[in-house]
Structure 1
Amino acid sequence: MARKALESQPFSRLIGARLSAFGDGGATLELDIREDLHQQNGFVHGGVLSYAADNALTFAGGTVLGPAVLTGGLTIQYVRPATGTTLRARAEVVQAGRRQAVVRCDVLAVADDGTETLCAVAQGTVLSVRTD
């Protein structure tokens, strides 16, 4: 169901995002690093890192709040430029109530040899939009 939700997002399809883990308060979103996702200095554009964090946060929150969720807000700190072959956003619920969850996300660049380099750290609030 989570993969179907991701595939229903036109922008996620455009950049080739995929869920590699989902459940138990966590979610991991990955995408291949391509030249058309770079900024002028050859690094992955910050907007792509922010997108990955946003979606990973929301999917992680959805594991505890249910599928009807939206990001209420997020902050992101860029710690180093992203280069490599894969961008990986690994999110985990820090605290959850009935209607909202606080979620943390590490955004990592993965090299050919599988080495992960931390590129950004994000924290966000995921809100349930259930109508019941």
Structure 2
Amino acid sequence: MEALDFDDAAAVLAAQPFSVLVGANLTTYLPPRAVLEIPLRPELLQQFGFVHGGVLSYAADNAITFAAGTVLGPSIVTTGFTIDYLRPAAGVLLRAEAAVVESTKRQALCRCEIIAVAEDGTEKVCAAAQGSARLIDLSR
């Protein structure tokens, strides 16, 4: 199966209602990498003012799947991932940078760093994840 180009991949992200709700943007989609960015706003924070863990997990999940899509094509789903929260995330932007580590014809293993960007441009890795995605048969 052939991978999508950047415009088609961005359209896939834009067709995901939850991604629209979160405000995610695809900024890189080039084998073997994908980068998602989420502008931060109060609705994405938890009670202490840090980015909610669910937003960090969403970013890792989608970045991993889009990175896998660069080598497997568009008919894929996440099969699982683990995430480690390293420090509270705060700032104006969240960036999830994922890359394929290994792949077969049907599955790809990816790693992801989630970076919080402050207003002054300072970047801090706030979480790291590893996961995989595999091809699915959409005709079923």
1:57 matched to 2:67? The reply is no
**In 2, distance between residues paired with 1:54 and 1:89?**
9
**In 2, distance between residues paired with 1:44 and 1:32?**
11
Structure 2 match to 1:70: 77
Alignment of 1:1-132 (within 5 A): 1-130=8-137
TM-score, normalised relative to structure 1: 0.97
**How many matched pairs?**
132
For residues 35-61 of structure 1, the C-alpha deviation after alignment (integer angstroms, 9 at most, x for no partner) is: 110011110000000000000000000
**In 2, distance between residues paired with 1:129 and 1:114?**
39
TM-score, normalised relative to structure 2: 0.91
Once the two structures are TM-superposed, the CA of residue 103 in structure 1 deviates from its matched residue by 0.2
- Which segment drifts farther, 66-75 or 106-115? 106-115
SS of residue matched to 1:84: coil
Task: For structure 1, list consecutive stretches of 5 or more residues without a partner in the other structure.
Answer: none
**Which residue identity does 1:104 align to in structure 2?**
R
Task: For structure 2, list consecutive stretches of 5 or more residues without a partner in the other structure.
Answer: 1-7
- Dislocated runs of 4+, deviation >6 Å: none
**Which residue identity does 1:47 align to in structure 2?**
G
Identity fraction in percent: 55
**Which residue identity does 1:21 align to in structure 2?**
T
